[in-house]
Chains A and B, each alone.
Chain A
């Protein structure tokens, strides 16, 4: 797996200008908002794109056929992509915190609590987003996955709408439920978000492995 991680990191090197541009844009945009934790959310949202781009590089020019003649299993390849996503997410959030402190100090901000609150939540959200996107990319490839993503977003929208509206039909007040969640201890909320992301990531990894094991190159 280490060899594959090195390959992906070297491929990321080819995108260093784009990454630098994203970081600069985050800093510039954060000057126009009150909330300095914006950088954390912005960089977190951008991360899956970089992880997915390594799949596109692997896939380009029938690259999978060669990759799977190397001493790696398809399960190992999937595991590496999730680990790489995790590492990249952690690294970009660390950078986001640094930038957030830099911007905050420049703006005279002394309270950085919002940044620290955002980190685990954004980390969980990014992990969930990546867990949805990775199997789609492995199944459909970079091009077709775009259409699949639109379908998934539509499905999520319908699901959220149903979750919000259907309980009302049975007389369940969702506002009360939401208030109960907000009232939860911050640590419990963070732990819950991380646990939820972990469960989704494990399920996603299982699906991705099954998809890749069935593919022919």
Chain B
């Protein structure tokens, strides 16, 4: 559905060189530190910035050849951008009605009521959670085939985050041909939501794996220096010096469980993996 092939973008202090793919029927996550290049990749995918090399295709078309009709099949959420805060939900309804042929006004109004979003209040007076919910509602209210969500849960409390993730699950359940590309710095959101995950660091994709595999096969090994010296390092992706010895990231948890019972093995978590991929070195 969306593919970035060796997309390059150079700034003065940062460069992006990224390849990734979002498949139909899947939720793909993009994780990385602040400034890792998540938003730059999203903006390139949406044609908001030019890129120096590579190719981006959306719905099988080159991004530069996208028509307004194609754009109407995308729903987008940015953490720091949206409709003017001086508008109300009631103002936005006729705007969207005239921009999207598939816009479902009753759905937006009904969902706004369900999530306690006032129709006649200016958006600037909404709380962070209300603004985030409205952005997602707008993105899904015109039956988009692809959602591109950059940090949609930013600044939300646990309850608001759960409600928002629930909305996304409902959206996916309605049509199996839909897809979502989502970024978040909160790995817990992505662990439960995504089918596959890309990890980006300093503008480069450093890891891509199915979430199930990440959570079942990846693990963090903790050991002292003597254990590290005798360890089979064929399946070690990266290691990090620790006060107690070493921590190592592996994608063959079972192998180390069977062969190194004395080594402490922690089940894979996205946070742990991200720390290891960023701060660790290859064994």
User: B-contacting residues of A (Cβ < 8 Å)?
Assistant: 2-4, 6-7, 10-11, 13-14, 57-58, 60-66, 68-73, 76, 216-217
Contact (Cβ within 8 A) A66 B76? yes
Contact (Cβ within 8 A) B81 A72? no
- Number of contacts between A and B (CB, 8 Å)? 84
Query: Do A63 and B68 form a contact, CB below 8 Å, given A10-B95, A71-B100, A216-B50?
Result: no
12 A-B pairs whose Cβ atoms sit less than 8 Å apart in the complex: A3-B97, A3-B99, A7-B87, A7-B91, A57-B86, A60-B85, A63-B81, A63-B83, A64-B81, A65-B48, A65-B78, A70-B99
* The one of B76, B84, B95 that contacts A63, using a Cβ cutoff of 8 Å: B84
Give every chain A residue within 8 A of B100 (Cβ-Cβ). 71
Give every chain B residue within 8 A of A71 (Cβ-Cβ). 68-69, 71-72, 99-100
Cβ-closest 7 pairs across A and B:
A3-B98, A3-B99, A69-B76, A10-B91, A66-B81, A71-B68, A71-B72
Rounded to whole angstroms, the CA-CA distance of A24 and B71 in the bound complex is: 44
Interface class of chain B by DSSP = mixed
Rounded to whole angstroms, the CA-CA distance of A138 and B60 in the bound complex is: 32
* The one of B43, B80, B87 that contacts A11, using a Cβ cutoff of 8 Å: B87
Give every chain B residue within 8 A of A57 (Cβ-Cβ). 84, 86
Give every chain B residue within 8 A of A72 (Cβ-Cβ). 68, 71, 99
Question: Nearest chain A CB to B182's CB is how many angstroms away?
Answer: 15
* The one of B76, B80, B86, B98 that contacts A6, using a Cβ cutoff of 8 Å: B98
Give every chain A residue within 8 A of B71 (Cβ-Cβ). 69-72
Most B CB within 10 A of own CB, among A6, A68, A70: A70
- Chain B residue nearest to A74 (CB atoms) is B47
Rounded to whole angstroms, the CA-CA distance of A180 and B68 in the bound complex is: 51
Interface class of chain A by DSSP = helix
Contact (Cβ within 8 A) B83 A66? yes
Bin chain B's interface residue count.
Answer: 20 to 34
- Chain B residue nearest to A59 (CB atoms) is B84
Question: Nearest chain B CB to A95's CB is how many angstroms away?
Answer: 23
- Chain B residue nearest to A58 (CB atoms) is B84
State whether the Cβ of B35 lies closer than 8 Å to any Cβ in chain A.
Answer: no
State whether the Cβ of B180 lies closer than 8 Å to any Cβ in chain A.
Answer: no
Contact (Cβ within 8 A) A217 B48? yes
State whether the Cβ of B54 lies closer than 8 Å to any Cβ in chain A.
Answer: no
Contact (Cβ within 8 A) A11 B84? yes
Rounded to whole angstroms, the CA-CA distance of A7 and B48 in the bound complex is: 21
Q: Which of B46-91 contact A (CB under 8 A)?
A: 46-50, 68-69, 71-72, 74, 76, 78, 80-87, 91
Rounded to whole angstroms, the CA-CA distance of A62 and B77 in the bound complex is: 13
Give every chain B residue within 8 A of A3 (Cβ-Cβ). 94-99
* The one of A14, A62, A69 that contacts B74, using a Cβ cutoff of 8 Å: A69
Contact (Cβ within 8 A) B72 A62? no
Rounded to whole angstroms, the CA-CA distance of A164 and B74 in the bound complex is: 56
Contact (Cβ within 8 A) A6 B84? no
- Chain A residue nearest to B77 (CB atoms) is A66
Contact (Cβ within 8 A) A6 B95? yes
Rounded to whole angstroms, the CA-CA distance of A7 and B122 in the bound complex is: 13
Query: Do A62 and B86 form a contact, CB below 8 Å, given A3-B95, A217-B43?
Result: no
Q: Scoring B residues 26 to 57 as 1 if CB is less than 8 Å from chain A, else 0, what string do you get? A: 00000000000000000100111110000000
Rounded to whole angstroms, the CA-CA distance of A113 and B49 in the bound complex is: 53
* The one of A6, A7, A62 that contacts B78, using a Cβ cutoff of 8 Å: A62
Give every chain A residue within 8 A of B47 (Cβ-Cβ). 68
